[in-house]
Each structure stands twice: as structure tokens, then as C-alpha cells.
Amino acid sequence: MQSSYFKCLTILSLVATTSIFANESISLEQITVSANKMEENIKDIPQSISVIDENEAEEKRIRTVNEIVREIPNLTSSVFINKTRMNFRGINHSDFTNSNPVTVYIDGIPNSNQMSNYDAILTNIERIEVLRGPQSTIYGKDSIGGVINIITKTPQNEWSGNLGTEYGSNNYMMGSFNANGALVEDKLFLNLGGFGSKDDGWITNDYNNDKKANKYNKYKFDGTITFKPTDRLTARLTLAKERVKDYFYKGGTGNFGQIDRNDAKHAKFEVPTHTTISSFAQSLGIDYEFDKAKFSSITAHKKSNTKGVYDGDFKYDEIVTNNNGLNQFQHVVIDMISQELRLSSLNTDKFKWITGLYFEREKTNNKRMGQQFVQGGFKMELDAPAKMKADTMAIFAQGNYNLTDSLALTLGGRYQKIKKDIDLKFYITPLGMPKGTPVNALNDNTSWSKFLPKAGLTYKINDDLSAFISYSQGYLAGGYNYYAMIKEQNFDPQISNNYEIGLRGNALDNSLRFSVSAFHMDIKDIHMYKMFPGGLFTTSNGGKAKSDGIELEALYRVTNELDISGSLGIIKTKYKENITDSRAIGKRIENTPNYTANLGISYTMPNGIYARADLRAEGSKYFDAANTLKQKSWISADVRAGYRFKDFDIYGYVTNITNEEHIETFLNHGGMGGMNHFNDPRRFGIGLKYSF
């Protein structure tokens, strides 16, 4: 085992030892979640759930989806040219469906697509729930790994809000605001929020002496109107506008392991390289409470526009000049609308249930998608514009029945049908010439129907402790490859069977909250991403794999001033069969660290001075299925200290204190090596927040 692995276990052991010798008893609050789309005590639910509240999110500066990821055991992500690539318990993102294995919900608006601001900006957070393990029964087609459910604050009669700003390394600037309250007391409420940030980055483009080569800027504005004409009826309309523009990427081009972050600080590329993603989302939620049941309707619409142009080989070659001046490009418009109707129980203790219908239509228009290259001494352009549509229809139900005062049974199921069609034209033409007749085309449709079951038992050992065991099936839809010249034009869904056992509860007079679980997952038709000679990429069904792991989370309130929290995820994955690459059989699933760990210590003095330190560690992982490209384990730390007085909070922070360096993502491009995407170097910053 790596030394940092033992460090993580030692740290968590010290936390447990500290709890044994504590002298002061401090009670933690009970946690109520809406994981199953109805309010429940977290101890009554037979599945693994992580919860991040408003205070924790603020102290850890959690402002995007990717910043949630680093807090969850066995969940990792990387952002590469504005596309978030997620891995959870060995399940990877799926290229050409552009789906991540964890679906994000923000006030009912679903998102699993990498191309439509998956790494969403978060504002006005009340609570973040991360449902670990397949959630396809309640949440649908792409929740094979889990769900990140983000709940924003409900406005009250009295107006409240905040203003915040930060400044840091690389000319980083951030500003945010939020205000919410009643327009008509008890009847009509308004919430307004905004966020904006910019950063000059840490890479210089020596080709044109641009010292801000990987700069970015982003903003989000959102608003919600909540109408309560009666005690039984609530309507909530939410609008959110978001835009991100990112230049270059946080890395360098070359063979794996042969360049480091210092090398990457100096790039040389002659083609303007940037990605812009803009989106506009709307949701309308209506709840009506009958005496014994609650009716809910959630209508969501989101349209995103992604435009990108990139240096064809991400470098300027002074010797071999053929590829200089050539680019890669994309312009993708995604229009998604969904409708969910559901009915759930109210005012019942013995039998809680929910049932509903779901429809989703996602239209994807690849207006431009391709690259320029040299063939036979001529400069050519490959472009594969395509129009795609995916319809999902589902009916679902889930119930929780108390067999005895201590034992509860959960059963659920979802029957869904997914239909996808594609109209694609594949062009290869001399650069600058009209496209003419496509060299190949793909006009096809296919559908998949599937029943997705779920079952679980929860046993209440006593008032403080409960155990659970569960089974669930996960599903990640199939799709079409964009490049119709290859043989593998489409691929089938990926399916997982997940078995889990866990224990959660409170101890030490309710000052310690903990959960521990173990899981086994069988995966079949796993989605594999690979490159063909000539630079074409494809997704195919690779075969069978398995994943086994243990996850631990704990929060210990030592005193009113001191909190210690931690998490640990240990995982072992293996390809049992691999049609795509026989060398992978018996090897670990790529992009899956063999462990993740967190430790947080937070101290707040009665006079308002506070400080916190957060350590994160990640085990070794491979960037290829054959396990030849290995990233070693690493550990890093962040700190924050500040002073809260009256309605103000002034603070300073340092991220990656030790300037630890590792590769987050490596994309192999064959003969030219690949793209090495590094983590950020050490950063400093200060901030000010005013709350009212």
C-alpha cells in the first residue's frame, strides 16, 4: 500500500481515539432528507447518503458541482475543456452519450450531460444530498452511479440575504449576492441570486506571449417566485441563466509522465483555443396536499449552447509544420424538456409510498463536430454534423412498510423505455472547399425497454443505531457514435447490479454521527472509450467488470467550538471480461482511485474568530484499461481562517498548501502523446461576506 493510504487511516484512527476521551457532550441535530422524493429521517433509509449543509458548504467554499465531488467517498471528477468526467465506484462517464454516471438535480432540474454545464454554479444552498449507488428506480435512466440532489432555500416572510466577494492568486475575482423574502406576506415570495468570477490562470502561451492563456470567466443569475395561495397549494417558478468561457486547458501536450506542471506553465499554440457554454433553464413545481397524499408536478426545460475551437495538436511545431494552423471544433445545442407527475403519502408512519410518471425529450444538434488534418500533403477537414433525439418514458413506484416497530421493508421499481434516433452526415473535404456530398451517413433509430428493481431492509437496533441491506439495479443508456465511417456505429446500455450493507447512527450522547457501508457491484456491457488509427474515437460495450468497496463517514462535535469530520472510501475494481482490450482482463477499471479520504477540522471561538483545515487524499489510479499509465497516490490540504463580527465575515484561505502536483486527466492521442491535465498549484485568497 502507498504511504499516504496509511496516513489517511492513521488520521481517521486519531479522530476516533479523540472521541473516546472526550469530556463534553454536545448533541447533533437529526438529519431529514428528501432522497426518495419525500421527507424522511436519514436513519430510516436503506441506502448510503452523504449530506452537506449550508454551513459546511460555505466554510469549504463549495460553489460548483465538482467541489461537491471531492467531499464524497469513492467519487472523483476532472474537468477537461469544460467537460466534467465523473467516476463513481468504478463507473466512468460515457462519451458519445455525453452522460455522467451521477445525475445532478437542482430544484428538480435534471442534468447528466457533460455538454450542458454539468459543473453548475451553486447559489442559495440549503442542503446537498448525495445518494450513493444506483438510483434508477426513482431518478431514471442515467443515475447508474448515484444522484446529487441540490435543494435551495425556501424564502420566509422576513427578508434576508448576503453579499460576498473574494480576491486571490492569478487575479482571481469573485462576487455573489442573494436576497429572498415575501412580496405578499404568507402568499408570494421572491428569491434573487447571482454569482460571477474570473481568473487569469497559471499558463503562459509563449507563441504570442499571452500570460493569461488558460483564463476563464463565468456567471450565473437565478430567480425564484413562490406562490402559496392556500395552505395546501404551492407553486414555484425558477429561472437560471449561466455562462462559462474557458481558454486552453490546465495542462500540456506530451507523453505521459514526461512533462510536469512546470513544463505545462509554458504552452505554445498558434490557434485560438477556448470553449463557451451558455445555458438557460426554467422549472415549474406545483405541490398540492390532500389529507393523506401529496400531488407534485415538476416541469423542467433547459437549453444549452456549447461552442469550442482548439489548436489541432495543442502545440506549435517549428520542425514539422504541416499541422500548424489547424484546429478542432464543436458547436452543440442541447434542448431538454422533462415532465414528472407523482403522488406520495402524507401523515402516515407505517406505510410510506410514492408513485409517478416521467417523460423526457432531449434534442441534440451537433451543428459542427470535427477537426482539420493533413492527408497526402493536403489540408483536409472532417465534419460530422448530426441531429439526435432521445425520448424517455417511465412509470415508477416505491414503498416503505414497517413490518415491525424495528424492521422496515422498501420495495421499488421503474419501467422505462428510451428511444434514440440520429441523422448524421459525415464529410471529409479539402480545407476551404464546400462540403459537397457526404462520404458516409447514418440515419437510424433504436429503443431499449427495461424494468429496474430496488429492494431494501432497515433494522432499527435502538434509538441511535440502524442497519440496512439493499439491492438496486443501475442503468446508463446506450447511444450512437458520431463518426459514421467506423463499424461500431451504436452501442448498448450499461447495466449494474449493486448489493450493499450498512450501519449508521449516533454515539457518545449524540455528539458523534457516523455511517459505514460495504458494497459489491457487477457491471455488464461497460462503456469503453477508445481511439482508432487516424484519430477517430468511439464508445463501445467492453464486457463485464466488478467493483467492491467500503465507505465510512463521520462527524464528531468535540465541543461547541470544535468539529472533526472525515470520510474514507476503499475500492477494488476488476475487468472480468474485456472485448475491447484483452490486456485489460484482470486489471483495474481506469480512472478509479483505489481509495479516497477526507479529514476536516473546524474551530470557532466565542469571539468570532474561526479556522478550519481540510485534507484530501486519493489513491493510485490508471488512465487506461490495460493499466500502463499510472498516477500515484497523493495528499493535499486547504486552510481557511477568519473573523465573524456582527453581520460580517472576513477571511483568508490557502488551497493546496504544499503545492502538491498530480495529473487529473490524461487523454491518449497516439503518436503525438497525449493531453496531460494537471491540478491547480497553490493559491492564496481573501474574502468578505455581509449577511442581512
Residues 258-289 have pLDDT tens digits of: 899 999 999 999 999 999 999 999 999 999 99
Greatest mean pLDDT among 250-254, 323-327, 545-549: 545-549
Neighbouring CB atoms inside 10 A of 501's CB total 15
In a domain, 23, yes or no: no
In a domain, 3, yes or no: no
Under 8 Å between Cβ of 254 and 671: no
Residues 455-482 have pLDDT tens digits of: 999 999 999 999 999 999 999 889 998 8
Q: Pairing mode, if any, of strands 266-267 and 204-205?
A: parallel
As a dihedral over the C-alpha atoms of residue 108, residue 357, residue 86, residue 553, rounded to 10 degrees, the angle is 70
Q: How far is CA 239 from CA 181, 339, 340, in A?
A: 17, 16, 18
Domain residues for 585?
Answer: 31-691
More confident residue, 592 or 46: 592
Under 8 Å between Cβ of 62 and 50: no
Task: Determine the pLDDT at residue 1.
Answer: 44
Count, residues in the chain: 692
Task: Determine the pLDDT at residue 483.
Answer: 79
Under 8 Å between Cβ of 659 and 680: no
CATH of the domain at 51: 2.40.170.20
Task: Determine the pLDDT at residue 13.
Answer: 44
The separation between CA 31 and the C-alpha centre of its own chain, rounded to angstroms, equals: 23
Average pLDDT, stretch 492-504? 95
For 4-20, letters b (16+ CB in 10 Å) and e give bbebbeebbeebeeebe
In a domain, 262, yes or no: yes
In a domain, 5, yes or no: no
Average pLDDT, stretch 32-44? 76
Task: Determine the pLDDT at residue 408.
Answer: 95
Q: Which residues contact 222 (CB under 8 A, 6 or more apart)?
A: 123, 124, 191, 192, 193, 194, 238, 239, 240, 241
Task: Determine the pLDDT at residue 671.
Answer: 60
In a domain, 320, yes or no: yes
Q: Which residues contact 115 (CB under 8 A, 6 or more apart)?
A: 83, 98, 277, 304, 306, 332, 334, 364
pLDDT band at 36 (very low <50, low <70, confident <90, very high): confident
- Is the pLDDT assigned to residue 37 strictly greater than 70? yes
More confident residue, 417 or 136: 417
Under 8 Å between Cβ of 547 and 537: no
Residues 213-260 have pLDDT tens digits of: 999 999 999 999 999 999 999 999 999 999 999 999 888 888 888 899
Under 8 Å between Cβ of 631 and 624: no
In a domain, 13, yes or no: no
More confident residue, 12 or 350: 350
Helix locations, 329-437, DSSP H: none
Average pLDDT, stretch 43-69? 90
pLDDT band at 94 (very low <50, low <70, confident <90, very high): confident
Nearest C-alpha neighbor of 63 from the set 676, 506, 655, 529: 655
Residues 68-88 have pLDDT tens digits of: 999 999 999 988 777 888 999
Nearest C-alpha neighbor of 392 from the set 103, 115, 128, 77: 103
pTM: 0.90
Residues 604-659 have pLDDT tens digits of: 999 999 999 999 999 999 999 999 999 999 999 999 999 999 999 999 999 999 99
The separation between CA 599 and the C-alpha centre of its own chain, rounded to angstroms, equals: 21
Q: Provide the number of structural domains found in the chain.
A: 1
Task: Determine the pLDDT at residue 629.
Answer: 94
* Residue-averaged pLDDT of the chain: 90
Task: Determine the pLDDT at residue 377.
Answer: 86
- Is the pLDDT assigned to residue 28 strictly greater than 90? no
In whole angstroms, give the CA distance from residue 269 to residue 207: 6
In a domain, 347, yes or no: yes
> Residue 458 — φ and ψ, nearest 5°?
-120, 130
Q: Which residues contact 566 (CB under 8 A, 6 or more apart)?
A: 11, 12, 15, 552, 553, 554, 597, 598, 599, 600
Question: What sign for the dihedral angle of Cα 204, 209, 213, 218?
Answer: positive
In a domain, 4, yes or no: no
